[in-house]
Structure 1
Amino acid sequence: MSYWCANGHESKPSFAVDAEIPEEWDCPRCGLPAGQDEKNPPAAPRTEPYKTHLAYVKERRSDADGEAILAEALERLRQRRQI
């Protein structure tokens, strides 16, 4: 039984006689999913780029929200310094 990935790598894993043969297998050379159809291998999974904490915050808050939160925090700091 052979499996092919999108990069054209062929894998020939061995399975026990009573084992269920999987539809896909991870290519040992490049890690992409490999399928049993050489002409139509599975597509590479789409990976999302790494996002910083700030990027996630910017997705949830508008610039106006950020300015309002900053102004509120600065006001609290100023009040503490006056005490």
Structure 2
Amino acid sequence: MATGGNAIRGTRVGAGPMGEQDHGFHAERVAVTYWDALGNETVRFFAANVPDEEIPEVIDHPHSGLPAGRDKDNPPAVAKTEPYKTHLAYVKERRTEQEAETLLEDALQQLRDRRGEL
């Protein structure tokens, strides 16, 4: 079976010539370069009409995960991560030892009253 010279095979109807530039409006944009502590560079594009104070000073670098800033010679430092706090650690921050003993004694007394023990 011989195939004909079908030039539009595999293209969408109405697609137009390849590389046509009239599809849509391309807004003006500005490129902002960010660097992380390892010297990795990334570029983000923002609309040209966005005020400079709305463009973030620090972003997370997409590859290293480190914070990245606009100043190549002075990149932002890695934020110190605090260890995970347990529920007990938070309770101890809010209560003194004396308050904890009082609360424990009250709770035990309520439990004894419900069970009928003295």
Please confirm whether the aligned pair reaches a TM-score higher than 0.5, indicating the same fold: yes
Partner of 1:10: 41
Partner of 2:77: 43
- Mapping of 1:57-72 within 5 angstroms? 57-72=91-106
Q: Say whether 1:80 aligns with 2:114.
A: yes
User: Where do 4+ consecutive residues of structure 1 move more than 3 Å?
Assistant: 14-21
CA distance in 2, matches of 1:61, 1:69: 10
Q: Which has the higher contact order (CA 8 A, sep 6+)?
A: 1
| Greater fraction of residues in strand | 2
User: What is the root-mean-square deviation in Å for CA atoms of aligned residues?
Assistant: 2.2
CA distance in 2, matches of 1:79, 1:14: 68
Q: TM-score, normalised by structure 2?
A: 0.57
Count of residues paired in the alignment: 83
| Greater fraction of residues in helix | 1
Instruction: For 2:59, give the aligned amino acid.
Output: W
Structure showing greater radius of gyration is 2
Secondary structure of the corresponding residue to residue 14 of structure 1: strand
Q: TM-score, normalised by structure 1?
A: 0.74
Partner of 2:86: 52
Shift in alpha-carbon separation, 1:73–1:25, aligned structure 2, 3 A: closer
